[in-house]
Amino acid sequence: MFLLFVCYYPSGLEFYPAFSFLCEVLRLGKVIVCGKGGSGKSTVTALLARYLVVSGRSVCVIDADESNTCLYRMVDLPHPGRTLAEELGGRPAIVKNCSSVCFDETNFPQKLHVKDLPCSCTSCRDNLYLVSIGKIKEMGEGCSCVMTDLAKQFISMLYAGSWTYLIDTGSSMEHIGRSLYDVCDAFLMVIDGTWESLELAVKMKEFAERLNKKIYWVLNKVKDSNLTFMAKALEERGLKPQGVVPYISLFEEAALRGNPLPLQKEVIRNIESLASALAFGSQLESAFITSCMK
């Protein structure tokens, strides 16, 4: 039996019904958020992170995109200061040391807890943490392989426990090419309303099946007028999404002004059902697909 209660969310969020059991059962572990460029990976990461935290979970967002700069603003946290790469001495030190050991069982006999990382490279409020792996900052400084290798070592050493780690990746397939999935539990793929996203989703589905990893899907910023097309296209490809985040013009405004993502009722409702579907491994009700097919 599901118990429904009403809780008060801090930071200006409205009263909103929440399922208390959600916090108990949600065991997402380490999740790679992936998708084509601009599909909304950072947006979905930030929404899910903020929602999970107000629902009582401990969440660490790992910014593994070496090009973006504003994730901290989206999750409404202070700038984390240095990246992990900078904290470890910058690219030269990482290239020198991390090809084998930046983080391994020798350096860290016990699992590393985000809370134990230096404040100079983390940002946090309540139970929401943000760590940024590294950014390309200089012209001609070299490729991002070293960052992905660092991310892989770091994530593998992280204490999982009851924490959820949301790993926001760049738009490329670098995370696949360098097997970041080895140290993660699942993929959450963001699909926007484009053919390219659909094609990429099919590819990711094949990869996940071959890897025997869980993969979840979320439709993002699909306009109402395109839902019918998307629903049919998804069904034809055997893709069953766990959630939909509609096109919300306030998000664009927040992006324009560099403001945190607004979490009003409509947004929370969508994120809540996505989180719930992720927790239970369920898919969007087929009613959604059938209603779009009409």
Ligand X SMILES: Nc1ncnc2c1ncn2[C@@H]1O[C@H](COP(=O)(O)OP(=O)(O)OP(=O)(O)O)[C@@H](O)[C@H]1O
| DSSP secondary structure, 154-221, as one string | HHHHB--TT-EEEEEE-SSSHHHHTTGGGG-SEEEEEE-SSHHHHHHHHHHHHHHHHHT-EEEEEEEE
Stretch in the footprint of ligand X (CB under 6 A) among 18-26, 140-148, 193-201, 247-255: 247-255
Within 103-162, the residues that bind ligand X by CB under 6 A are: none
Q: How far is the CB of 212 from ligand X (least distance, A)?
A: 26
Extended beta strands in 3-101, E state: 4-7, 16-19, 30-35, 59-64
Q: How far is the CB of 265 from ligand X (least distance, A)?
A: 15
x/- track of binding to ligand X for residues 255-284 (CB under 6 A): x-----------------------------
Extended beta strands in 26-113, E state: 30-35, 59-64
**Considering the rule CB under 6 A, would residue 171 count as an interface residue with ligand X?**
yes
Helix (H) or strand (E) holding 222: strand 214-222
Strand partners, 220: 245
Nearer to ligand X, 23 or 70 (CB): 70
What does residue 217 show for φ and ψ, rounded to 5 degrees? -125, 140
Q: Which of 155, 221, 227, 268 binds ligand X (CB under 6 A)?
A: 221
Nearer to ligand X, 41 or 152 (CB): 41
Instruction: Output the six-digit token pair for 276.
Output: 């719930």
Nearer to ligand X, 102 or 189 (CB): 189
Q: Which of 247, 259, 260, 273 binds ligand X (CB under 6 A)?
A: 247
Nearer to ligand X, 117 or 271 (CB): 271
Q: Give the separation between CA 66 and CA 154, rounded to whole angstroms.
A: 15
Within 29-58, the residues that bind ligand X by CB under 6 A are: 35, 37-43
Helix (H) or strand (E) holding 283: none
Residues near ligand X (CB under 6 A) are 35, 37-43, 65, 68, 170-171, 220-221, 245, 247-248, 251-252, 255
